[in-house]
Amino acid sequence: MKVGDLARVKDGTHDAGIPSHRIGLIIEHGEASGNYTEAYTVAFLGTNIQLKFHEMFLEIANNESR
Protein backbone atom coordinates (compact mmCIF):
# COMPACT_ATOMS: atom_id res chain seq x y z
CA MET A 1 0.00 0.00 0.00
CA LYS A 2 1.08 3.54 -0.63
CA VAL A 3 -0.13 7.13 -0.47
CA GLY A 4 -2.71 7.65 -3.22
CA ASP A 5 -4.16 4.13 -3.09
CA LEU A 6 -7.89 3.67 -2.67
CA ALA A 7 -8.42 1.44 0.37
CA ARG A 8 -11.28 -0.29 2.12
CA VAL A 9 -11.40 -0.88 5.87
CA LYS A 10 -11.88 -4.63 6.34
CA ASP A 11 -15.16 -5.99 7.69
CA GLY A 12 -14.93 -6.65 11.41
CA THR A 13 -12.81 -3.54 12.00
CA HIS A 14 -14.69 -1.19 14.31
CA ASP A 15 -14.35 2.53 14.85
CA ALA A 16 -17.35 4.78 15.44
CA GLY A 17 -16.03 7.20 12.80
CA ILE A 18 -15.90 4.76 9.87
CA PRO A 19 -18.58 5.63 7.29
CA SER A 20 -20.77 2.74 6.10
CA HIS A 21 -19.06 2.60 2.67
CA ARG A 22 -15.65 1.99 4.38
CA ILE A 23 -13.76 3.38 1.34
CA GLY A 24 -11.08 6.04 1.53
CA LEU A 25 -7.89 7.40 0.04
CA ILE A 26 -4.58 6.73 1.78
CA ILE A 27 -3.18 10.22 2.36
CA GLU A 28 -0.29 9.60 4.73
CA HIS A 29 2.14 6.83 5.66
CA GLY A 30 2.67 6.77 9.40
CA GLU A 31 5.21 5.14 11.64
CA ALA A 32 4.50 1.75 13.14
CA SER A 33 5.94 0.82 16.50
CA GLY A 34 7.02 -2.55 17.80
CA ASN A 35 5.61 -5.55 15.97
CA TYR A 36 2.75 -3.68 14.35
CA THR A 37 2.25 -3.46 10.59
CA GLU A 38 2.67 -0.19 8.72
CA ALA A 39 0.18 2.56 9.63
CA TYR A 40 -1.72 4.81 7.22
CA THR A 41 -4.05 7.79 7.48
CA VAL A 42 -7.22 7.28 5.41
CA ALA A 43 -9.46 10.15 4.23
CA PHE A 44 -12.94 8.70 3.66
CA LEU A 45 -14.66 9.57 0.39
CA GLY A 46 -17.44 12.15 0.58
CA THR A 47 -16.60 13.11 4.17
CA ASN A 48 -14.15 15.18 6.21
CA ILE A 49 -13.25 12.09 8.25
CA GLN A 50 -9.59 11.06 8.50
CA LEU A 51 -8.61 8.04 10.57
CA LYS A 52 -5.37 6.11 11.09
CA PHE A 53 -5.24 2.33 10.64
CA HIS A 54 -2.57 -0.32 10.71
CA GLU A 55 -2.11 -2.07 7.38
CA MET A 56 -3.67 -5.32 8.66
CA PHE A 57 -7.06 -3.56 8.87
CA LEU A 58 -6.98 -2.27 5.26
CA GLU A 59 -7.25 -3.78 1.81
CA ILE A 60 -6.84 -2.24 -1.63
CA ALA A 61 -10.29 -1.27 -2.94
CA ASN A 62 -11.41 -2.72 -6.25
CA ASN A 63 -14.66 -3.89 -7.81
CA GLU A 64 -14.49 -7.27 -6.04
CA SER A 65 -14.21 -5.77 -2.52
CA ARG A 66 -17.56 -3.99 -2.60
Look at residue 66 and tell me if it is in a domain. Answer: no
Cα separation, 40 vs 3, in Å, equals 8
Model pTM score? 0.83
In angstroms, how far is CA 33 from the centroid of its own chain? 18
Domain residues for the domain of 41 are 6-61
Look at residue 41 and tell me if it is in a domain. Answer: yes
How confident is the model over 32-56, as a mean pLDDT? 88
Look at residue 19 and tell me if it is in a domain. Answer: yes
Look at residue 29 and tell me if it is in a domain. Answer: yes
How much is the pLDDT for 65? Answer: 43
Look at residue 45 and tell me if it is in a domain. Answer: yes
How much is the pLDDT for 66? Answer: 43
Cα separation, 8 vs 10, in Å, equals 6
Pick the residue with more confidence: 8 or 30? 8
CA–CA distances in Å: residue 1 to residues 9, 16, 40, 55, 63 = 13, 24, 9, 8, 17
pLDDT of residue 64 exceeding 80:
no
Residue of 57, 59, 32, 27 lying closest to 42 (CA atoms): 27
Number of domains, the chain: 1
